[in-house]
Structure 1
Amino acid sequence: MLLSATILSASPAWAQNNDVDARLDRLEALVSGLIERMDAKDQASASDVATAEQARQAISETRALAERTSAVEGKIAEQAAVTQKEDANGFNVGKTRVTYGGYVKLDVITERTSGGQVPSNSIARDFLIPGAIPVGGEASGFDTDFSARQTRFFLKTETDVGDDHKIGSHIELDFMVTDGGNERVSNSFAPRVRQAYITFDNWLFGQTWSTFQDVSALPEAMDFIGPTPGTVFDRQPMIRYTNGGLQIALEQPETTITTPTGARIVAGDDSLPDMVVRYNHTGDFGHLTAAAIGRVLRVNEDDFGLINDSSIGYGISLSGKLNIGERDDFRFMATAGEGLGRYIGLNIVNDAAVRADGSLSPIATYSGFAAYRHFWTEKWRSTISGSYFKADNPVLLTTGLVTDESWNVFGNLVYSPVAPLDIGIEYMYAKRQTEDGASGNLQKIQMSAKYKF
C-alpha cells in the first residue's frame, strides 16, 4: 500500500514531464528511496520489498526499451532526411531515378590588354585564352562586360536493371563559346553540350573530361578555368574502363598542325584513337594522379597536297590535391611531352609543324601550375595560383609568330553567406610572348556571383 500510494502521488508530476529519460530517472530515484526506507523499518513486509524490486526492474527494462526505440526513430529520421534530400532534386520514372543540378553564375569582367584590342563580343573577353592575348600592338583601355554564359545545368539518370549491374547517364549543358544574341539587345546564347555519356558498371561511353586531365586538381577561380597556361584541359568523346584507381581510355583523335606560314591546320585525317592510362591514389591526405598519353599524329596528302605523314605524340602528367590542416589545400599539375599541343592551355600551340619534305615534327611542351587555398573563416576563403607554359617550337618551320611561352597569376577572395551561394572578386595578370620576342599582357578584375543547386 505504501508503494502504491507513493507511485500514484508521483504520477501527476511524471505525466507533466515530456522527457522520457528525465521521468525514468525521477521514478527510479523514488523507488530506490522507498526500498531504503522499507529496509530501515522492521515492519516493512517482504511483499512490499519484493514489489519495490519488481518496480525497479520494470523501470530498467523500460529504459532499455526507450533507448532501442530512440535508436530506431533516429535511423528512420535519418533515412527520411536522405529521402527528402534526394526527392528535393530528383524524381522517379518507372525504374529510372532522375536527378539534376548545376549553377547560375553572373560574371562582371573588367580587363585591359597591352598588345592590342580584344574585339567586343569575343570569347577572349569571357575568360582567359592564353593564345589569344594580343601582342605587339597598342594598349587598350579597360573594357567591362557582364555575362551569365557560364551558367550550366545537368541531368543524371540511374536505372535499376537488376543482376548487380549499374547503368546511368549524364547530360550537361552551358552557354559558353556559342553563337547567339548580342550585347545591344538580347545577350541570348545557344546552349552547347559539355558532357554526354553513358556508364555501365566499370565502363563509360560518351563525351566527358579527357582521362589525361585531372579536373579535381583545378583550383577555385572566378575565371572559367583559372591557371589556363599550365593545365591540361580537354573534353571529348571516349571509351573508358575504370577499375579502382586505374583508368584506361581510347579518346577522340585530332591533329593540329602549324604550316610554314604560321597558319593552323586541323587535319581531320586521324585514324587511331588517343590512348590514355591513368592511376588515382586517394587517402586522408587528398589525392595524387599520374597519367600518360600516346597519340598518332597524322595528315594526308589528299587534303593538304604534299603533306603526307604520321608521327608519334606522347606525354605524362602528374597532379594532385593535398589537404593542409582542417580545410586548406594545395593543388598542382606538371605536364610534359611532344605532340600535346591541343591538350594544353586551350591549344596554345599546335601538335606538330611541317618540315620542308612534308613530314611532321612534333612540338615539345612543358607546363604546370600550383595553387594554395586558405579558409580565413567558415564563410571567407582565398586562392592564390600561378601557372606557366613553354613550347620548344622548331622556329625554322613555324616562323616567329607562334607562342613561345605564357604564364599567369591570380588571387581571389570568396564569401559564402550560405552554403550554395559564392560571391567573389579576383585579380589576374597574364602574359604571352611569341618566338620573335613580341609580347603582350592582360590584366583582369572579375567579380562573380554563383548559386549552386
Structure 2
Amino acid sequence: MNTTQLTQKSINKPTFKRTLMTSMIVLSLGGVSVAAQAQTQQQKEIEQLRQDVQALRKLVEQQKVQTTHTATALAEVQRPAPVASNPVLKTAKGAEFNLYGNVRFDASYQVEGTSRDLPYNHINAVALKGNSENSDRLRSTLAATRLGLDFKTQVAEQEVKGKIEVDFLGGSNFDNLRIRHAYVNYGNWLLGQTWSNFAVPDYMPESIDALALVGGAVKRTPQVRHTTKFSPQTNLVVAAEDPKDSTVNQRLPALSARLNHQFADNFNISARAMGHEKRVNNDEEMAWGVGLGAKYDVVPGTTLKADYYHVKGDSSFVSFTNSGVVKQADGSLVQSEFDSITVGLTQQFNEKLRGTVGYGYMTFDEDQNYIDALADQTKANKDLWQAWANVFYSPTKPLSFGLEYVYGEREAFAPATVNGSKTGEDNRINAVAIYNF
C-alpha cells in the first residue's frame, strides 16, 4: 500500500462516519416528524368522534322527549273520563241517605165514556152509554210526580234501612200530597207503609195509567210483616195490615201471607192469602181472598205476566171492585164475591224501546140478596174488562216517553133509567213523559 492509498483511507473513514450519522439524524428527524403528524391526525379524529358522539346524544335526547310527549298526549286521549263518585249524604243523626224521584206529566184523551173529570182509569164508574158521558175530553196532570228518600244506618251489628216516598195523588181529585211509602227494615222485619202483602203489583202487565187497569192492584197499607227465607229461591212473608176500609168499623187488622218461589232464573210465582173481619155496627162477616201471580221470561227480552184473584167480602185490596159488604134491610150483612185476572206480554225491542199488550177481566157473582141490598144497582157491576197496548221510548237514561191505547167496558147489574143501557164504555189514549233523577 503506497502513501497515496493510506492517505486516502485516512481521509475517507471519518467522512463515512459523518455521513452515516447525518443519515441517521435525518431519518430520526423524519420519523419524529411522521410520528408527530400521525399523533396530530389521531387527535383530530378523536375530536371529530367526540363531536359526533355529542351530536348523537343530543339527537337521542330530543327523540326521547318527543316520544314522551307523544305517549303522554296519546294517554290523555285514551284515558277514560273520570267517574264522578256520588257524595255520601248524611242526616244529622249520621244515617246515610239517597235522594231520588221524577217529574211526570200525564195526559189522557177520552174518546168516549167517563163521567168524572179525571186523567186516570176508573172503569168501574164510567158513565153508561147515553147517560152524562164526557167524551172528546183532554185531561192532563203532574200529580204522579214523585220524591223519595232511601236511607240506611248501622245499629250494633245490624243494618237498618228505610224509605220515604211521596207524590201528589191524594184527595178525591188526586191533587194533594200523599205518602206512598214510609217504612223501616230491621233484619227480617218491616214496619210502616208499603205495597200490600196480598195485592202486590209485581205481576201486573205494564201500563201508563198510574192507577193500573182491570185485574191489577196498587194498594199500599200500613203493616207489620216478617220474612222467612227457606232457601235462596223460596221465602214466606206474613203480615198484619190495615187496609183502611172506610165501609166498615174496623177493630182488627187484616192478616195476609205470601209464598214466593223462583223455579228458574226466568220463572217466578207468588201464592197469596188474606183474611179480614168486616164489621158494621154489631154485625160482622169474615172476608177472605186468594191470589196467584206468575212472571215468565219466554226468551231474553220477552216477558209474560199473569195475576189472578178470588175474593169474597172485600173491596179494599184489589182495585175497581164492588163494595165488599152491604147492609140488608134487617141489618144483616151480605158480601160480594168476584174473580179477576190480568195477563200481558212485554217485548223489549232494544235498549231504548219496549212495548206491552195486556188484558184484564173481572166478574162478580150475581147474588140476588146482595143486588137487592144495593142503593143504586147501576153503580155496581156484573163484569168489567179492559184491553191495552203501549210503547215506551227512552232516548237517554233519565228520559222516558210513553203512548197507550185503552178500550174497555163495564156491565152494570141494572139498566139506566134514561135509556135502559147497562153498558159503559172506556175508549181513550194515554200519554206520559217522565224525567227521573
TM-score for the superposition, normalised by structure 1: 0.71
Q: Is the 8 A contact 1:169 1:197 kept in 2?
A: yes
Q: Distance in 2 between matches of 1:221 and 1:420?
A: 19
Q: Distance in 2 between matches of 1:293 and 1:86?
A: 42
Q: Report the equivalent of 1:421.
A: 399
Corresponding residue SS for 1:168: strand
Q: Report the equivalent of 2:256.
A: 276
Quote how far apart the aligned CAs of 1:18 are: 4.5
Matched to 1:95, the amino acid is: G
Structure 2: where are the runs of 5+ without partners? Answer: 1-59, 73-79, 230-234, 416-421
Q: Is the 8 A contact 2:288 2:311 kept in 1?
A: yes
Corresponding residue SS for 1:229: coil
Q: Report the equivalent of 1:344.
A: 318
Q: What does 1:312-331 correspond to in 2, within 5 Å? A: 312-331=286-305
Q: Distance in 2 between matches of 1:167 and 1:210?
A: 21
Q: Pick from 190, 215, 234: which aligns with 2:219?
A: 234
Q: Pick from 395, 409, 413: which aligns with 1:431?
A: 409
Quote how far apart the aligned CAs of 1:387 are: 0.2
Matched to 2:278, the amino acid is: L
Quote how far apart the aligned CAs of 1:377 are: 2.4
Corresponding residue SS for 1:271: coil
Does residue 290 (structure 1) correspond to residue 271 (structure 2)? The answer is yes
Q: Is the 8 A contact 1:413 1:424 kept in 2?
A: yes
Q: Is the 8 A contact 2:204 2:343 kept in 1?
A: no
Q: Pick from 171, 195, 208: which aligns with 2:164?
A: 171
Q: Report the equivalent of 1:246.
A: 236
Quote how far apart the aligned CAs of 1:14 are: 8.2
Q: Distance in 2 between matches of 1:16 and 1:395?
A: 91
Q: Distance in 1 between matches of 2:71 and 2:300?
A: 39
Q: Pick from 411, 421, 436: which aligns with 2:389?
A: 411
- More divergent stretch after superposition (131-140 vs 237-246): 131-140
Quote how far apart the aligned CAs of 1:342 are: 2.2
Q: Pick from 342, 346, 368: which aligns with 1:369?
A: 342
Quote how far apart the aligned CAs of 1:250 are: 0.2
Q: Report the equivalent of 2:124.
A: 131
Matched to 1:368, the amino acid is: I
Q: Distance in 2 between matches of 1:212 and 1:405?
A: 23
Alpha-carbon distance change, 232 to 425 in structure 1, aligned in 2, over 3 angstroms = closer
Q: Pick from 206, 209, 218: which aligns with 2:192?
A: 206
Does residue 96 (structure 1) correspond to residue 92 (structure 2)? The answer is no
Quote how far apart the aligned CAs of 1:439 are: 1.1
Q: Deviations over 1:160-218 (max 9, x none)?
A: 22x321212211111114378xxxxxxx9431111211221111111111101222223
Q: Distance in 2 between matches of 1:177 and 1:230?
A: 22
- More divergent stretch after superposition (389-398 vs 439-448): 389-398
% same residue = 24
Structure 1: where are the runs of 5+ without partners? Answer: 1-8, 20-76, 181-187, 257-265, 301-307
Alpha-carbon distance change, 190 to 312 in structure 1, aligned in 2, over 3 angstroms = closer
Larger-Rg structure: 2
Q: Distance in 2 between matches of 1:397 and 1:423?
A: 44
Q: Distance in 2 between matches of 1:85 and 1:359?
A: 64
Q: Is the 8 A contact 2:205 2:342 kept in 1?
A: no
Q: Report the equivalent of 1:360.
A: 333
Quote how far apart the aligned CAs of 1:393 are: 4.2
Quote how far apart the aligned CAs of 1:375 are: 1.9
Quote how far apart the aligned CAs of 1:235 are: 1.2
Q: Pick from 287, 309, 312: which aligns with 1:335?
A: 309
Q: Report the equivalent of 1:118.
A: 115
Q: Distance in 2 between matches of 1:292 and 1:86?
A: 42
Q: Is the 8 A contact 1:431 1:441 kept in 2?
A: yes
Q: Distance in 1 between matches of 2:413 and 2:252?
A: 32
Q: Is the 8 A contact 1:229 1:344 kept in 2?
A: no
Q: What does 1:19-98 correspond to in 2, within 5 Å? A: 84=84, 86-87=86-87, 91-93=89-91, 94-98=93-97
Quote how far apart the aligned CAs of 1:355 are: 3.7
Q: Report the equivalent of 1:153.
A: 147
TM-score for the superposition, normalised by structure 2: 0.74
Q: Is the 8 A contact 1:101 1:155 kept in 2?
A: yes
How many residue pairs match? The answer is 354
Quote how far apart the aligned CAs of 1:118 are: 2.4
Q: Is the 8 A contact 1:395 1:435 kept in 2?
A: no
Q: Report the equivalent of 1:391.
A: 364
Q: Report the equivalent of 1:451.
A: 435
Corresponding residue SS for 1:175: strand
RMSD: 2.9
Q: Is the 8 A contact 2:294 2:307 kept in 1?
A: yes
